[in-house]
């Protein structure tokens, strides 16, 4: 029983990319005009998010391509690569923001138009919030979509921070709050990116997806009627939404195995969201293929 159905967010990605490209151009232009590092760093962050959205969009689209003889699972794994590259791009953006902020602290004295900064950043709050809402429904089930949602939600908060920085410059004359805000932006990005990077790496090396507890799966399989032993249990991610499982079950007295296997696949899908299941049933009482010496396998 294999569930290949994935929700389509193609329209959401298209709208998100379009809105953010327009805003990046606007924010970068005003950042250069005003000399605001907070605006420039936020524009750089938003540009990295545009690239991230494009990667996520590409991965999402490729995941829907039908399997072929050479790629029997299709391009589902591209969503994992998209999430991984997305996180790496953000880390590069963090380095650039921190470097420029350090330079600005060392060379203060730039006069900044605070209210202009406030107005531009406020537009960013609206655009980033609207974009994040496009991915709200899929954030719990797809790491790739969740990455897009987290980036846009973080951007909305970051743009809010730039608004605060602009108010500080306009009414209090605190020019130092501009590079300080850019450092806070870098920290916010890093915190949101670290979890995404860690999970993407785990999926890339075929670790068990975080949403699945392998001990619970093993316990469930061991409790099946007629099963006396469970071994060679493997669970891995085929994409950011789909998981696969292979296992050997020792069942000394097999009976009506078609019904048993069909029900098992349904239960694994419903209980653990594992849609691709391969089960080998053994009678036991002798050596199995998995127990043979490596040079004989």
Residue 183 to residues 12, 41, 176, Cα–Cα distance (Å): 30, 9, 11
Q: What is the pLDDT of residue 233?
A: 93
Containing H/E element for 69? none
The residue behind tokens 């589902």 is: 76
Closest CA to 230 of 157, 288, 296: 288
Q: What is the pLDDT of residue 4?
A: 41
The domain spans of the chain are 10-204, 214-296
- What are the residue ranges of helices labelled H in the chain? 10-34, 37-62, 78-106, 114-134, 143-172, 177-204, 214-222, 257-272
- Look up residue 284 and give its DSSP letter: -
Overall CATH class of domain 214-296: alpha beta
Q: How many Cα atoms occupy the beta-carbon half-sphere of 123 within 13 Å?
A: 19
Tell me, what's the pLDDT at 249?
92
Tell how strand 276-282 and strand 229-237 pair up.
unpaired
pTM score above 0.75: no
pLDDT for the residue 57: 76
Partners of 268 in the beta sheet? none
Residues with Cβ within 8 Å of 256's Cβ and at least 6 positions away in sequence, in order, are: none
Average pLDDT, 10 consecutive residues per value, the chain (297 residues): 51 82 84 74 73 75 76 76 78 76 63 71 84 72 71 75 76 73 77 80 86 92 90 87 89 82 91 89 66 46
Residue 218: predicted pLDDT: 93
Beta bridge partners of 229: 250
What's the Cα-to-Cα distance from 207 to each of 54, 97, 238, rounded to whole Å? 26, 32, 10
**Yes or no: domain 10-204 corresponds to CATH 3.40.630.30:** no
């Amino acid at each position: 029983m294999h569930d290949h159905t994935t929700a389509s967010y193609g329209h959401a990605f298209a709208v998100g990319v379009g809105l953010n490209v327009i805003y990046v151009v606007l924010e970068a232009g005003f950042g250069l005009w005003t000399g605001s590092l907070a605006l420039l760093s936020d524009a750089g962050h938003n540009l990295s998010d545009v690239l991230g959205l494009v990667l996520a969009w590409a991965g999402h689209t490729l995941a829907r391509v039908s399997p072929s003889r050479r790629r029997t699972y299709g391009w589902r794994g591209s969503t994992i690569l998209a999430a991984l590259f997305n996180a790496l791009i953000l880390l590069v953006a963090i380095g650039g923001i921190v470097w420029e902020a350090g330079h600005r602290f060392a060379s203060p004295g730039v006069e900044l138009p605070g209210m202009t900064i406030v107005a531009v950043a406020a537009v960013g709050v609206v655009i980033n919030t609207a974009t994040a809402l496009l991915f709200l429904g899929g954030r719990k089930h797809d790491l790739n979509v969740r990455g897009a949602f987290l980036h846009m939600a973080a951007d909305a908060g970051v743009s809010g921070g730039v608004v605060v920085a602009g108010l500080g410059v306009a009414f209090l004359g605190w020019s130092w709050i501009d590079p300080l805000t850019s450092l806070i932006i870098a920290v916010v990005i890093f915190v949101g990116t670290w979890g995404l990077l860690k999970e993407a790496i785990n999926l890339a090396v075929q670790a068990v997806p975080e949403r699945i507890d392998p001990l619970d799966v093993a316990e469930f399989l061991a409790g099946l009627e007629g099963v006396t032993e469970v071994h060679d249990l493997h669970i891995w991610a085929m994409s950011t939404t789909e998981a696969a499982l292979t296992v050997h079950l020792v069942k000394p007295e097999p009976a009506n195995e078609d019904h048993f296997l069909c029900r098992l696949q349904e239960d694994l899908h419903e209980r653990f969201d594992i849609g691709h299941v391969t089960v080998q049933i053994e009678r036991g009482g002798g050596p199995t293929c998995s127990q043979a010496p490596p040079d004989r396998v």
